[in-house]
Chain A
Amino acid sequence: MPQLSMRDAINQALHQEMARDPRVIVLGEDVSGGAGGSSNEREASGGIFGVTKGLLPKFGAGRVLDTPISESAIVGAAAGAALAGLRPVAELMFADFVGVCMDQIYNQIAKFRYMFGGKSTCPVVIRMAMGAGMNMGAQHSQSIYALLTSVPGLKVVVPSNAYDAKGLMIQAIRDDDPVMFFEHKALYPRKSEVPEEAYTVNFGEANVLREGDDATVVALGRMVVFAEKALDGLAAEGIKCDLIDPRTTSPLDRRTILQSVENTGRLIVVDESPPRCSVASDIAAMVASEGFESLQAPVELVTTPHAPVPFSPGLERSYVPGPQKIADAIRRSLKGRR
């Protein structure tokens, strides 16, 4: 099977869905780039992370739309086009820019289906790059999926690898509901096996990457990679854990998590975001209220500090929950084990 980076896997998903369904359009800042440039290069960019490369030459400027810097209008127009029968994939470039267009996401897109009594669907996908690790500072490094997970009416996807990213993107485009699609920048170059043909990964179905009876580790996005590293290290100490990647935070696969904790009795949640009102605290609360009898130790939350993302590389590294912090949390959870 071919090895693809997460960048290329999402790119392939976009290509395949645009070829399959003429209603799919892509819009955003520099999704092709070069418009109005002095070189007259047709596709001078293909997205600043290269995720939308090749779409313009293939599908033309009628379906691949470079936009001015106008996030409210980009997201709002994508939503309006979705209400009117298209299937837009809008790119926000950086997830931080959700701040600029929050009304369109929060008061518009998220509300339509329910507020209009089930009469409308809004099949829009908002793609955005998230995450720390590239020294891009406080306004270009946040992982704000918890913010959108808290909003009824949105589906929220946080892939951790190329295979899932492709299947989840195809599912997102085919889904009749609005999907917020978070792509961790540090994962873009990471490769895994990705089938050539189109396939979907269902929302609300967690991926169990590893199995073990000692503890349950739940991690999202880049934190899955770090959790795997931590577990590699702990294997030498004879510690084996379930590693669960929920893949979507809304809907959330509660059953897989609860069943695992029922078996292990211990829960460690790793989340690249500040601790308050986070996906980590949400999962901890869920297990505390629905799986209390299973718990044999306090739930360990491995998150960033309650602070914005710092710029300086060393600071940023210690901000992000790394393999060491995850391993420490697992050991703490196992301390005093009978």
Chain B
Amino acid sequence: MSFTSERLRHVYRQMKTIREFEERLHTEIATGEIPGFTHLYAGQEAVAVGVCEPLTDADYIASTHRGHGHCIAKGCDLTGMMKEIYGRRDGLCKGKGGSMHIADFEKGMLGANAIVGGGPPLAVGAALACRQRGDGTVSVAFGGDGSCNQGTVFEAMNLAVVLKVPAIFVFENNGYSEHTGVSYAVGSKDIAGRARAFGMPAETVDGSDFFAVNEGMRRAIAHAREQGGPAAIEAITTRFYGHFEGDPQRYRAKDEVARHRETMDCLKRFRARMAKDGPLSGAELDAIDQVVVAEVDTAVKAAKASPLPTEADLTTDVYVRY
């Protein structure tokens, strides 16, 4: 796959936006102004962006509790997201959802999900709609390594094979489900192998390399369109912060994050690739960084300045009132 310079700038900008969004949240959360539990996506950007790059608004994704990256990669409005995370009335879900429940149906974003394993069956249903429409669209189920132990995910994978729907299961293996390591919790230690056992092609890709993820995703899409059935990707990745903000991470070796920041940082990897093969220059990428930092700053300021929901909002968006 060869990308135009413009497309590469877009890709880098999205990855940088996710990184900046999450790092800014990391500092803002420390001030105590952001309610609830926030799961940061920093470290995994190449997965969301690699997967969503070939998609349009007509394709679907179902996300997870660690969903900010998926939202940004699928084109959700940054300010609308930030307002939602701050619990504001003009947030993407009117402040009723929060970080773990951002959704944007115009962008084909079927919602972040706080139930591990809640999303994949939904993604299979959306894939069924894609198949009925016959327009070549696909539906992506994002999930972590931990989610692959959930019965709902097994059922969703098998159903997708049986119904031959264009569902793509993306397992982001960041090494941990909460405080438990994947080598303990995933008996076979091979998530792609599990997906294969259900009767779909599956491959393991380097989740810190945008190009590796993207190529895997393009093969999965081609399979879904041409063979009319699901495919799976296991992306090996890492998270740069705790499970949620405030996690002391005692399960992790002291130097693990620092090491991963050296070797598994998708932004560094992208920059190295550009330095070697082009076409983007370091200066061009620096310029994107500046734009992104300003954009996230604007989103934070807008979020802090926007109105909170009122008591009357408690019983809007319900079917029945008593």
Contact = CB atoms under 8 A, between A and B. Distances in A.
B194 to A, nearest CB: 12
Given A137-B114, A139-B114, A37 B98 contact: no
B69 interface: no
A73 B152 CA distance: 12
A137 B38 CA distance: 11
Interface in B146-161: 146-147, 149-152
Nearest to B96: A310
A138 B98 CA distance: 9
Contact of A305 (B177, B308, B315): B315
A34 B308 contact: no
Contacts of B251: 33-34, 37-39, 41, 44-45
B150 A100 contact: yes
Interface string A92-113: 0000110110000000000000
B101 A35 contact: no
Q: B interface, how many residues as a size bin?
A: 35 or more
Nearest to B154: A70
A307 to B, nearest CB: 5
B184 interface: yes
Interface of A is mostly: loop
Interface stretch (A1-9, A202-210, A312-320): A312-320
Contacts of A100: 115, 117, 150-152
Contact of B100 (A38, A67, A137, A315): A137
A39 B253 contact: yes
B98 A312 contact: yes
B120 interface: no
Contacts of A38: 175, 181, 251-253, 256
A306 interface: yes
B262 interface: no
A54 interface: no
Contact of B185 (A45, A69, A71, A136): A69
B36 A311 contact: yes
Given A39-B250, A137-B36, A315-B95, A310 B184 contact: no
Contacts of B186: 68
Contacts of A214: none
Given A307-B315, A311-B35, A319-B314, A36 B100 contact: no
A251 interface: no
A48 interface: yes
B116 interface: yes
Contacts of B96: 138, 310-312, 315
B180 A34 contact: yes
Nearest to B182: A36
B308 A312 contact: yes
Interface string A36-60: 1111010011001000000000000
A312 B314 contact: no
A67 B118 CA distance: 18
A19 interface: no
Contacts of A96: 114-115
B183 interface: yes
A73 B154 CA distance: 13
Interface in A280-338: 305-307, 310-315, 318-319
A315 B309 contact: yes
Given A37-B176, A135-B36, A137-B36, A310 B149 contact: no
Contacts of A30: 178-180
Nearest to B87: A312
15 contacts: A34-B181, A36-B180, A36-B184, A44-B179, A44-B250, A44-B251, A70-B149, A70-B151, A96-B114, A138-B96, A140-B37, A275-B322, A305-B322, A310-B309, A314-B87
Interface of A: 29-30, 33-39, 41, 44-45, 48, 66-73, 96-97, 99-100, 134-140, 275-276, 305-307, 310-315, 318-319
6 nearest interchain CB pairs? Answer: A36-B181, A36-B184, A37-B251, A311-B98, A312-B87, A33-B179
Interface of B: 35-37, 87-89, 95-101, 113-118, 146-147, 149-152, 175-186, 250-254, 256, 308-309, 311, 313-315, 318, 320-322
Given A68-B177, A137-B98, 8 more contacts: A35-B181, A36-B181, A36-B183, A69-B149, A70-B151, A139-B114, A312-B96, A319-B314
